[in-house]
Amino acid sequence: MTENNANSPASEPSSPSHSATARRAGPLLGLMDVPGDKSISHRALMLGALAVGTTHIEGLLEGDDIHATANALRAMGITVVQDAPGVWHVDGVGVGGLHAPDDVLDLGNSGTSARLLCGLLAGHGFTAIMTGDDSLRKRPMNRVLDPLTQMGVRVETREAGQMPISFTGADMLLPIIYTLPVPSAQVKSAVLLAGLHAPGQTTVIEPIATRDHTERMLTHMGAVIDITESSEGRRITITGQGELSPASVTVPSDPSSAAFPAVAATIVPDSVVTLEGIGMNPARVGIFKSLVDMGASIEKTNPREESGEPLADLKIRGSALTGAKIPASRAASMIDEYPVLAMAAACAIGTSRFEGVGELRVKESDRLATLEAGLRACGVKVETDADSMTIEGCGGPPPGGATIATSLDHRIAMSFLVLGLATEKPVKIDDIRPSKTSFPDFAESMRCLGADIREAS
């Protein structure tokens, strides 16, 4: 548990010149274009690189994380070109066709790039060195490296499996059957991408289902993949050493990014906001289910499917919220959205409890600690332990009036700006730059709805 005192992270802004402040204003009204799905954007680039021919992508997220993936692929001989805003193409070289990079692959803050690229590189018999920024170098990598070493790759890391990583793939990988010890779509995807290069069949068993964008896109590009339910959980089996076909991919709007304007519209009275083309993958909609459980008004219209992914339009209205218990079983479908859901809980009547959220300790920051410090600084009562968070809602606008240290975490930064739209006093964050990771025009997009978010000049 973090104490709220003069030395807490919430009271030490690190980059005042890049700060931003959110204030209460009128209702949020209008239509917002939400950026493309980050998870799907990564996969579209990577699987396009392994296809034989040109993959055309529309709606690609153009945030820092996606540029990290694109640059890494270029360093390994792949042509990745932006044709227009959000419109890209990738000239694939086939499974096993990547070239050894001439230099270190710097993946910035992108954990998805790092973990999925390990699977992509596993079937190539060359050595690549991967690193990232200070935050990424602190994040655990052993969970993805363990199954890949079972398949025959060789790795060297810093202590606790942290980056930089020297990663040497194998020309002949061993197919394996691997049960995920913790729910992780990134680990599952890395093993499936490695399995694409291995002879025979590679199987991943997930006792708790995670987001299935990799399986859907592999199917969209012609991979031989079989998915069944068993007593052990969901079994995903891929047959390796086949070819992927280039495809057109339309990236839906990211439900994780949509969560910010959705919560903002919910906690700012009299708001009516429409979000179009939001990804409705069943493994990603936990945030919307949780908001509805708390009393939010969310109307889903125009359901449809594009490139193997379901999507719909959402209309969100300002609502009086009530605290709710969010079970651990929902965590895999909304792990990235708990920070902004915590802002909704802070405004609700009664107590909210989030269970099974220990994974937040090893994200871009220790999100549980950072959330607790920030909420306490804003006058909200909160307690955390190793795997849960309990928030006593203020039953209306929280006091606010704090400066939040975001720990260079994009979701923390945007979440507290959302809270500041509803608090009695403004909420300031120390650095808005990390929002470019997943939502490059976040502040401007929110201002178009009527939000009062001011960035330091």
Are 228 and 354 in a shared domain?
no
The answer on 365 and 327 residing in a single domain is yes
Residue 2 inside a domain? The answer is no
Alpha-carbon distances, residue 44 vs 282, 295, 323 (angstroms)? 19, 36, 38
DSSP assigned state of 199? S
- Out of 231, 250, 269, a domain closes at 250
Burial profile 324-361: b = 16 or more Cβ within 10 angstroms, e = fewer: bebeeebbbbbbbbbbbbbbbbbbbeeebbbbbbbbbe
Task: Report d(CA 51, CA 243) in Å as an integer.
Answer: 7
Is the distance from CB of 314 to CB of 299 less than 8 angstroms? yes
Q: Answer whether 347's CB lies under 8 Å from 320's CB.
A: no
Residue 39's nearest CA partner among 241, 188, 226, 208 is: 188
Q: Which residues, at least 6 apart from 136, have a Cβ–Cβ distance to it below 8 Å?
A: 107, 108, 109, 110, 111, 114, 163
Which residues are the active-site residues?
Answer: 336
CATH number of the domain that residue 435 is part of: 3.65.10.10
User: Can you give the residue range of the structural domain that contains 221?
Assistant: 38-250
Say yes or no: 439 and 387 in one domain: yes
CA–CA separation, 457 vs 454, rounded Å? 9
364: left (phi over 0), alpha (psi -120 to 50) or beta: alpha
Walk along the chain (457 residues) and give the pLDDT tens digit of each residue.
Answer: 333 433 344 444 444 479 999 999 999 999 999 999 999 999 999 999 999 999 999 999 999 999 999 999 999 999 999 999 999 999 999 999 999 999 999 999 999 999 999 999 999 999 999 999 998 998 889 999 999 999 999 999 988 889 999 999 999 999 999 999 998 999 999 999 999 999 999 999 999 999 999 999 999 999 999 999 999 999 999 999 999 999 999 999 999 999 999 999 999 999 999 999 999 999 999 999 999 999 999 999 999 999 999 999 999 999 999 999 999 999 989 999 999 999 999 999 999 999 999 988 877 778 999 999 999 999 999 999 989 999 999 999 999 999 999 998 999 999 999 999 999 999 999 999 999 989 999 999 999 999 999 999 7
Task: Look at the chain and report how many structural domains it folds into.
Answer: 2
Q: Please tell me whether the overall predicted TM-score, pTM, comes out greater than 0.75 for this model.
A: yes
Q: Check whether residue 336 and residue 449 sit in a common domain.
A: yes
Q: Which helix (H) or strand (E) holds 116?
A: helix 111-121
Pair (220, 284) in one structural domain: no
C-alpha distances in angstroms, 437 versus 64, 390, 425? 5, 28, 28
Among 186, 219, 250, identify where a domain stops.
250
* Domain closes at, from 226, 250, 274: 250
Q: Are residues 69 and 29 in the same domain?
A: no
